[in-house]
Amino acid sequence: MRIALIGANGQLGSDLVRALRTVDLVPLTHRDVDICDETCTDRLSQICPDHVINTAAFNRVDDAERDASAAFRVNAAAVYRLARWCAQNGSVLIHISTDYVFGGDRVRTTPLTESDSPAPLDAYGCSKLAGEFAVRATGCRHFIIRTSGLYGHAGSSGKGGNFVETMLRLAHEGKPIRVVDDQRLTPTFTADLAAKMAQLLHTDRFGLYHITNTGDCTWYEFAAEIFRLSGLQPDLGPTTTASFGAPALRPAYSVLAHRALLAAGLSDMPHWREALQRYLADRPSAAGTTAFGP
């Protein structure tokens, strides 16, 4: 099995490199392949992969609200180009999507399934949903994986760190920390997601999957657990999405159910608290990380 991994030096891509070390993996960074370049598939033709994993995305949610065309260019048009190449060359596409394809009713308490109707609230969510439609439109064999709240040791180059490291940095700086307490989701450790993806792509159970850690929390509850496990007691307090004042709307509830994953015969993901504990135990120094917001 030969796999071309686009975005190999990103937050998820770095963990996929480790999770796929037993296969013939060709890691591709932005310098190797720019998916917005119309000639990007020439590189894939040289590699001749059986599978193409696309982790590249425009994932700066508020910037997408200001420049929707840029988000759609990366998250939809470029994805269609990759999917069409896969359809024409018999390759399987593994594409990463998001919980932000859902609107997230504030009164909802039941995790969203793969069969629930998406209804994105912002340009980012719309562009990612368009990317899902683009993959299906080509008829290529595919895995579309929706996930949420990613954090990993490689950080997120587009956001300048990750939520966990930002919380720890702010705590050490002694600054008051206010985190939204009315957005409920499941933070997901990229190492766990990468490991599950490595299992899934060895099957032929193609389709749409929700893959996150299990359990759920608000961003405020996540921050509180980060500090509890780290033995820190900063000035942490809850705030609302409205008070936070971000340009883009976020879903109030975007917890994802894992029906397709279990139906494929794969085990469920670890709980987010246990995943966070492992992340903190294995983390390198957070010195030098920069701000990131959910």
SS3 per residue for 259-272? HHHHHCCCCCCCEH
**Residue 112, SS3?**
strand
Place of tokens 């269609």: 80
d(CA 216, CA 201): 26
Residue type for position 164: V
d(CA 154, CA 190): 9
Exposure letters 35-71 (e unless 16+ CB within 10 A, then b): beeeebbebbeeeebebbbbbbbbbbbebbbeebebb
Whether the Cβ atoms of residue 48 and residue 232 lie closer than 8 Å to each other: no
Choice among 124, 151, 209, 220 that is catalytic: 124
Exposure letters 154-180 (e unless 16+ CB within 10 A, then b): bbbeebebbbbbbbbbbbeeeeebbbb
CA distances to 15, 41, 124, 204, 234 from 158, rounded to whole Å, are: 17, 23, 14, 32, 27
Residue 32, class by beta-carbon neighbours within 10 Å (0-12 exposed, 13-18 middle, 19+ buried)?
A: middle
Q: Is 124 a catalytic residue?
A: yes
d(CA 23, CA 64): 35
Place of tokens 């296969």: 23
Backbone angles phi, psi at 3, to 5 degrees: -125, 130
d(CA 131, CA 64): 14
Catalytic center residues: 124
